Structure 1
Amino acid sequence: HATVRGYIHGLVTIDVQNENNDKLSKQTTEDIQMNIKKLLNCHKTKRFPAIQRGGKIDRYVPTAVDLLVEYDFDECVYETNSPYQNIKIMHSQQFGNMLLLDDDP
């Protein structure tokens, strides 16, 4: 499955997803990128890491300026809702335990 978006300034984005949510090999993604570059006759392309969807633990945290940051969370140590906010303590291999208040680190 692929979604293609064109913008008035010439930018074209293509989101490629496989039906089994299996990770595509690096060679496959490079082949797709080169074929698109040839088809569109463009000079510059950029490939971004795949977003992992549907995992046991959500690895992505939006920032205040709407950037999406991926952490290496491997477990939720604690989660509760107080009268004021959602409180989570997530474990990360890189950072140890991380406090998230309303999904804000």
Structure 2
Amino acid sequence: MEKQIREKFDCSVAKVLPALKRAPLLNPYFTTSDDRIIEYDVDKLVCEERTDFQKVEIYHTKSFGNMLVLDDLQNLAESDLPYTHGLMNKGNEKYEEKEILILGGGDGALLWELLKKAKICDHD
């Protein structure tokens, strides 16, 4: 179909997009910081709150688990944990008696995992 569109209109680029669903109970579409539209398999809104600083939402998705959305931009999801474990080289690195510097830190997941490793916090 994309080839036919390119030939018909004599253009070098053509894209066919899937149809957007109209009026779903929960909006599955999120805009990224670079203005792309991503569709998630959202099945439940877990939490929604407006703070003095931002709009905070937590959605449950079938593919990614709970997903944090700040000011309508998806931030992180439970499925991101393997990425965090990769950053800390989990299972291969020993942290005893080492000083650790976290630059950025973002969501705090790396700090949380390191604190669990150091047995400073007792949550799983």
Same fold (TM over 0.5): yes
CA RMSD of aligned residues (A): 2.5
Q: Hey, what's the Cα distance between the residues in 2 that align with 1:61 and 1:75?
A: 15
Tell me which protein shows more strand as a share of its residues: 1
1:88 counterpart letter in structure 2? E
Change (3 A) 1:85 1:46: closer
1:62 counterpart letter in structure 2? T
Match of 2:53 among 84, 88, 101: 84
Change (3 A) 1:54 1:104: same
Secondary structure in structure 1 of the residue aligned to 2:34? coil
Confirm or deny that 1:101 pairs with 2:66: no
Tell me which protein shows more helix as a share of its residues: 2
Change (3 A) 1:83 1:46: closer
Pairing of 1:1-105 with structure 2 (within 5 A): 42=8, 46-105=15-74
Normalised by the size of structure 1, how large is the TM-score? 0.57
Number of aligned residue pairs: give it: 70
> Which has more radius of gyration?
2
2:60 counterpart letter in structure 1? H
Unaligned runs of 5+ in 2: 75-124
Secondary structure in structure 2 of the residue aligned to 1:83? coil
Q: Hey, what's the Cα distance between the residues in 1 that align with 2:22 and 2:36?
A: 17
Q: Hey, what's the Cα distance between the residues in 2 that align with 1:62 and 1:53?
A: 16
Percentage of identical aligned residues = 36
Normalised by the size of structure 2, how large is the TM-score? 0.49
